[in-house]
């Protein structure tokens, strides 16, 4: 029996080059590549290592496909995670040039900033106790795949479509934040484009954090104090174009915003 060996590094390089050159590539799974979910995470980590070798620093993690709206929009019904680096940060109130992006989209999220490390199977209580700040956030996605279409393993290998993210000031977790059902609104140029609730993410986004800790542990990783964790889009993502102003407002948490330029 011959077993095909997955060339993790060359697949990571293919996606990394697509990111750097802002071009789109066919889905890996549709171009004759077969690999497992665990292998897809190895490709993802190899891509992150390439970023780190260019001087980027890991600042957090993201969960994806954690709400029905996102699952329905993307047609992939399994939660995934990705890595966030300092180069992906857009300052709250800052601007993002879309020149190097292929087909950007934006989605509203709740972000946690951790005050403690978190690893493996934890209770909701333990996960919540690791949170220092609860923040409104916007994630800018930019799949490296043609037509923003992918299967589960493709999107995992592609670092969960991550491109950039904005985290608002938020509030200290110790102040008690009712995330069971906080209303959430995303606007573009002052017009409401999505409305939702923090309940859309597993009835409470802390469950996304628990899942992140557990999934990461399966691959030998852990969340660290100081890191940010994006818990996943609470609504569908919306296409982004240059010259826009985007804002998310989350009840009890405040807002986060940024502008897009050419």
DSSP secondary structure, 189-253, as one string: TTEEEEEEEGGGBTTSTHHHHHHHHHHHHHTT--B-TT-EEE---SS--EE--TT-EEEEEETTT
Residue 65 binds ligand OOG (CB under 6 A) = yes
Residue 142 binds Mg ion (CB under 5 A) = no
| CA distance linking residue 234 with residue 46, whole number of Å | 29
Q: List the interface residues with ligand OOG, window 42-61 (CB under 6 A).
A: none
In three-state secondary structure terms, 53 is helix
Residue 154 binds ligand OOG (CB under 6 A) = no
253 binds, among ligand OOG, Mg ion, none (CB under 5 to 8 A by kind): none
Rounded to the nearest whole angstrom, what is the least distance from the CB of residue 64 to Mg ion in the complex? 5
Residue 233 binds Mg ion (CB under 5 A) = yes
Residue whose token pair is 């020149």 = 99
The residues near 21 (Cβ < 8 Å, ≥ 6 apart) are none
Using the minimum distance from each CB to Mg ion, give the nearer residue, 92 or 139.
139
DSSP secondary structure, 129-162, as one string: HTEEEEEEEEEEE--SBGGG---HHHHHHTGGGE
Rounded to the nearest whole angstrom, what is the least distance from the CB of residue 175 to ligand OOG in the complex? 25
Residue 201 binds ligand OOG (CB under 6 A) = no
- For 142, counting Cβ atoms within 10 Å of its Cβ (0-12 exposed, 13-18 middle, 19+ buried), the class is buried
Determine which residue in the list 16, 39, 92, 139 makes contact with Mg ion, applying CB under 5 A.
139
Determine which residue in the list 19, 29, 85, 143 makes contact with ligand OOG, applying CB under 6 A.
143
Rounded to the nearest whole angstrom, what is the least distance from the CB of residue 106 to ligand OOG in the complex? 11
CB 254 within 8 A of CB 114: no
What Cα–Cα distance (Å) separates residue 67 from each residue in 16, 63, 205, 235? 27, 10, 10, 7
163 binds, among Mg ion, ligand OOG, none (CB under 5 to 8 A by kind): none
198 binds, among ligand OOG, Mg ion, none (CB under 5 to 8 A by kind): none
Rounded to the nearest whole angstrom, what is the least distance from the CB of residue 233 to ligand OOG in the complex? 4
Residue 69 binds ligand OOG (CB under 6 A) = no
155 binds, among Mg ion, ligand OOG, none (CB under 5 to 8 A by kind): ligand OOG
Q: List the interface residues with ligand OOG, window 214-243 (CB under 6 A).
A: 232-233, 237
CB 234 within 8 A of CB 67: yes
Interface with ligand OOG (CB under 6 A): 62, 64-66, 70, 74, 107, 139, 141, 143, 155, 160-161, 232-233, 237
Interface with Mg ion (CB under 5 A): 139, 233
């Amino acid at each position: 029996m011959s077993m095909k060996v997955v060339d993790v590094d060359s697949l990571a390089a293919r996606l990394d080059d697509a990111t750097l050159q802002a071009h789109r590539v066919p889905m890996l799974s549709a171009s004759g590549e077969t690999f497992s979910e665990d292998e897809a995470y190895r490709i993802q980590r190899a891509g992150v290592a390439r970023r780190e070798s260019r001087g980027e620093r890991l600042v957090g993690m993201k969960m994806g496909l954690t709400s029905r709206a996102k699952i329905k929009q993307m047609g992939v019904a399994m939660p995934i995670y990705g890595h966030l680096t300092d180069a992906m940060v857009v300052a709250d109130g800052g601007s993002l040039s879309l020149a190097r992006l292929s087909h950007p989209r934006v989605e509203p999220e709740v972000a946690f900033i951790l005050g403690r490390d978190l690893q493996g199977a934890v209770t909701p209580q333990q996960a919540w106790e690791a949170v220092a700040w609860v923040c409104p956030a916007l994630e800018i996605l930019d799949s490296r795949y043609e037509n923003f279409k992918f299967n589960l393993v493709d999107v995992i290998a592609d670092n969960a479509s991550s491109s950039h993210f904005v985290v608002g000031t938020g509030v200290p977790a110790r102040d008690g934040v009712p995330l069971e059902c906080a209303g959430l609104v995303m606007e573009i140029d002052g017009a409401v484009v999505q409305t939702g609730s923090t309940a859309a993410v597993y009835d409470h986004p802390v469950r996304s954090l628990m899942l992140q800790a557990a999934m990461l542990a399966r691959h030998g990783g852990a969340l660290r104090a100081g890191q940010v964790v994006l818990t996943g889009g609470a609504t569908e993502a919306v296409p982004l174009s240059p010259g826009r102003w985007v804002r998310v407002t989350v009840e009890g948490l405040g807002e986060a915003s940024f502008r897009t330029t050419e």
